[in-house]
Amino acid sequence: MNSSKPKIVVLGAGYAGMMTTRKLTQLLRPEEAEIVLVNKHNYHYETTWLHEVAAGTINHNQARVMLSDVFSPNRVRLIYDSVVEVKKEENLVVLENSDIEYDYLVVALGFETNTFGIKGMKENAFFIQDIDTCQLIRDHIEYQFARYKNSEDKDDDSLTILVGGAGFTGIELVGELVEKVPQLCKKYDIDRNKARIVNVEAAPTILPGFDEDLVDYAKRSLEARGVEFRLDAKIQECTEDAFVIGEDREEIKAGTIVWTGGVTGNSVLGKSGFELTRGKVTVNGDLRAPGEENIFILGDCAWVMNEKEGRPFPPTAQAAIQHAGTCAGNIKALLRHEPLTNFVFDDKGTVASLGVTDGMGTVFGKKLYGKPAAAMKKVVDNRSLFLLGGVKLLLKKGKVRPF
């Protein structure tokens, strides 16, 4: 590639990074800029499907897309390496195995699980972070069932799966677990009543802040299928085999403990000297970092204020994809010396799965429950694949589960 062209470096191949890269290839002529995408793996993964990988209700390969299947090497230079730090003053990104200079930088490195410093959480709980951590969860759960079956001195607690936090990640995870656990019980000939799924939440309700009717529906549906909720139960500590909850430090024992209690921006932001609000960069309206002419911060790394409601927009794939559109347009504007535009969020709603055939949510302001919601969730999942790789990718990886 011609090195005299301005170089755009995109960090992270999640929703924000992939869609920015794709849009840039559509908006810019090849001679206008060199486009480089840096990611720690040679694949993109559908973060919004990770709860299914963790429960083992889909194969991890379905949630992965090879970057070389989406981008032509003639158009996008792919670098598979981990970002260590951005040196803003030098227009340089330090990678684990090399360095790379940029003229324009897009930081789209996603989220990291936040344990809020809860004692023992980092050491003892599993996290829904990426494909690798989710495969560990899946394998660990199956190991607990296999070990139980084959041990003479059976410990029923080893079959319990504890999920800490009943936000959308925790709720979607227990929704998948109620599908998987009966299958494991059948496979290992274990009484279904011995395998508990317990979801612990500090707030008095699951999905705090979400629509009350939908929350009520989700809770009843999951309880009917065997999920136990412990509400108003703040986790104080995580030990090797238990959550310690509440002021009286009650212990709930388990063989598998998963923490889904919150997320924050990638720690590379802090290491690179960006000013942070709760682990994220408060971006300008045009999605640039404050004081930086050539650095955009997107997706779960960005703190984007919802001025109407006086709080930040929640970190979602929907927002990350929309950030990408604004960012790519603004990079084109910078290259062509045109005015930049501000990001405007177009909220299409929120849909959550509660297992394979159940779900709930709002779409364009309309409430959906049950099978229609589950079907809508698959439409949303498939749309993301379509946006990334068109019909070819949709046919290869799309979700067409029968009801």
Site membership for ligand FAD, residue 51 (CB under 6 A): yes
Specify the stretch interacting with ligand NAD by CB under 6 A; choose among 33-41, 269-277, 312-320, 383-391.
312-320
Helices (H) and strands (E) in the chain, counts: 10, 27
- Whether residue 83 contacts residue 14, with contact meaning beta carbons closer than 8 Å, is answered with no
Q: How far apart are the first and last CA of the chain?
A: 49
Specify the stretch interacting with ligand FAD by CB under 6 A; choose among 86-94, 104-112, 150-158, 232-240.
104-112
Interface residues for ligand NAD in 234-273 (CB under 6 A)? 234-235, 260-263
Which among 164, 154, 10, 140 is positioned nearest to 75, based on CA atoms? 10
User: For residue 30, how many C-alpha atoms fall within 13 Å in the half-sphere facing its CB?
Assistant: 8
Residue of 172, 176, 179, 201 marked active site? 172
At 137, give phi and psi (nearest 5°). Answer: -60, -50
Interface residues for ligand FAD in 159-218 (CB under 6 A)? 169, 172
To the query of whether residue 240 is one of the catalytic residues in this protein, the response is no
Nearer Cβ to ligand FAD (135/236): 135
- Tokens 């999942």 found at: 381
Nearer Cβ to ligand FAD (209/339): 209
Task: Give the contact letters, 145-184, x = binds to ligand NAD (CB under 6 A), - = no.
Answer: -------------------xxxxxxx-x------------
Site membership for ligand FAD, residue 15 (CB under 6 A): yes
Nearer Cβ to ligand FAD (108/283): 108
Site membership for ligand NAD, residue 200 (CB under 6 A): yes
Q: How far is the CB of 149 from ligand FAD (least distance, A)?
A: 29
Q: How far is the CB of 188 from ligand FAD (least distance, A)?
A: 26
d(CA 41, CA 352): 27
Residue 167 contact among ligand NAD, ligand FAD, none, beta carbon within 5 to 8 Å by kind? ligand NAD
Nearer Cβ to ligand NAD (256/330): 256
Residue 12 contact among ligand NAD, ligand FAD, none, beta carbon within 5 to 8 Å by kind? ligand FAD
Interface residues for ligand NAD in 96-125 (CB under 6 A)? 118
| Number of residues located near ligand NAD, criterion CB under 6 A | 25
User: Inter-axis angle of helices 131-150 and 168-187, to 10 degrees?
Assistant: 40
Query: Which residues, 6 or more positions from 1, have their beta carbon under 8 angstroms from its beta carbon?
Result: 34, 77
d(CA 311, CA 162): 31
Residue 50 contact among ligand FAD, ligand NAD, none, beta carbon within 5 to 8 Å by kind? ligand FAD
Site membership for ligand FAD, residue 39 (CB under 6 A): yes
- Tokens 């079907």 found at: 375
d(CA 202, CA 230): 8
- Tokens 């003053």 found at: 89
Site membership for ligand NAD, residue 202 (CB under 6 A): yes
State which H helix or E strand residue 381 sits in.
helix 370-397
Query: Which residues, 6 or more positions from 76, have their beta carbon under 8 angstroms from its beta carbon?
Result: 21, 25, 35, 36, 37
Site membership for ligand FAD, residue 299 (CB under 6 A): yes
Q: 3-state DSSP: the chain helix, strand, coil percent, rounded to 5?
A: 35, 25, 35
Residue 234 contact among ligand NAD, ligand FAD, none, beta carbon within 5 to 8 Å by kind? ligand NAD
Q: Which tokens in the block code for residue 167?
A: 């936000």
d(CA 63, CA 323): 22
Residue 389 contact among ligand FAD, ligand NAD, none, beta carbon within 5 to 8 Å by kind? none
What's the length of the chain?
A: 403
Site membership for ligand NAD, residue 141 (CB under 6 A): no
SS3 category, 65 = strand
Which residue ranges make up the site for ligand FAD (CB under 6 A)? Answer: 12-17, 38-41, 44, 47-48, 50-51, 82-83, 108-111, 128, 130, 169, 172, 266, 268, 299-300, 315-318, 320
Which residue ranges make up the site for ligand NAD (CB under 6 A)? Answer: 118, 164-170, 172, 200-203, 208, 234-235, 260-263, 314-316, 350, 352
**Active site (catalytic) residues:** 172
